[in-house]
Amino acid sequence: MGLTLISTHTASSDATLDITSGIDSTYNEYQFYFVNMHPSADSKKLRMIASSDGGSSYGIATTTNVFQAYHNEADDATSLSYNSSTDSDASTSEITIGDSTGYDNDQACSGLMTLYAPSSTTYVKHFTAQIHQSSGSDYANNTYVAGYVNTTSAVDALQFSFDVGNIDLGTIYMYGVS
Amino acid sequence: MATKAEHVTALKAQHPSLTRLVNNVRETLSPSEYEVTIDGWATASAATDVRNDLKANGGQSADYASFRTDSMVDGSYPSIPDQLDKLYHDITDGKLDETGSWYLAVKATKDKFTKP
């Protein structure tokens, strides 16, 4: 398995970060590395939404499951649990891939999302994400998301954002896996 | 707890214009895109306010199950090991009824986060 860096995207006070180029049939698997995605407001969720028309429109029904592991700095709360308030059922709005991220100067979220066979015209588009947040309430919070974009059309663009406020700072590296 | 309209006002003051980064090219959102984005943020902020108020004070919610089972929420169900420990002590003390510690702990959660 080899990784090829396709593009690097660095947000700076942007409402959304859109990748509308390079997601095609070249690779059967694409990896998106999120490094220190920092929201402009406290305790915000990192989201993703897909497009099949190059980013002209977004909003393909997407279903996910979400579970989380967390542990706080005070060492009085730990959990491994399903998160029914964060999952999505055939949502045409943005879906959460990273839960509550703090906005203190030293807080952010980082992790990886994998998108499989985005150009398939036979299958729905599977993706998995594992994002770690230093949360607004000082938790080490690990969010695991898996789901599918429910279309047999090629997915060729993705948009990332926080549920409220700008992506104050943050870099996404897109790799093709061969 | 701010209303959605109050959030709109605050967000517009904080973000008089908005941009998006498309393939590393920064674009300013059109007036209509700006309004849609601010409306979405205000809706999410108002919903968060409601959820935070419920977390703190309890009450009726269609989402009651998520409050009851989210261990980040004060007043959610005790962990399974803690519940089993309560049951052990209740059995030992002959209190496997409505006076037992397990029953009272679970009841407190159900009473705080109620079904509509």
- According to the model, what pLDDT value does residue A81 have? 85
Please judge whether B20 and A17 are an interchain contact, meaning their C-beta atoms are less than 8 angstroms apart.
Answer: yes
Is the Cβ of B56 closer than 8 Å to some Cβ of chain A?
no
- Dump the DSSP string for A113-136: EEEE-TT-SSS-EEEEEEEEEE-T
Q: pLDDT tens digit string along A134-156?
A: 998 899 999 999 999 999 999 99
A52 confidence band (pLDDT: 50, 70, 90): very high
Torsion-angle region of A114 (φ positive above 0: left; ψ -120 to 50: alpha; else: beta) = beta
The closest CB to that of A55, out of B19, B22, B72, belongs to B22
**Separation of alpha carbons B24 and B22, rounded Å:** 5
Reading the block at residue A43, the tokens are: 């305790």
The closest CB to that of B20, out of A18, A79, A139, belongs to A18
**Reduced to 3 states, what is the DSSP secondary structure of residue A14?**
strand
Q: pLDDT tens digit string along B37-76?
A: 999 999 999 999 999 999 999 999 998 998 998 877 899 9
Of A16-20, A71-75, B83-87, the one with minimum mean pLDDT is A71-75
**Stretch A106-123: mean pLDDT, rounded?**
98
Please judge whether B23 and A20 are an interchain contact, meaning their C-beta atoms are less than 8 angstroms apart.
Answer: yes
- According to the model, what pLDDT value does residue B70 have? 83
Please judge whether B45 and A164 are an interchain contact, meaning their C-beta atoms are less than 8 angstroms apart.
Answer: yes
Closest-CA distance, B114 to chain A, in angstroms, reads 16
Q: What is the predicted ipTM? A: 0.94
Please judge whether B71 and A55 are an interchain contact, meaning their C-beta atoms are less than 8 angstroms apart.
Answer: no
**Stretch A100-120: mean pLDDT, rounded?**
97
**Stretch B103-115: mean pLDDT, rounded?**
98
A84 confidence band (pLDDT: 50, 70, 90): confident
pTM listed for this prediction:
0.91
Residue A175 reports pLDDT greater than 90? yes
Instruction: Specify the DSSP class assigned to residue A155.
Output: P
A contact test, residue of B41, B64, B68 with most A CBs within 10 A: B41
Question: Which residues numbered 82-101 in B keep a CB inside 8 Å of some CB on A?
Answer: none
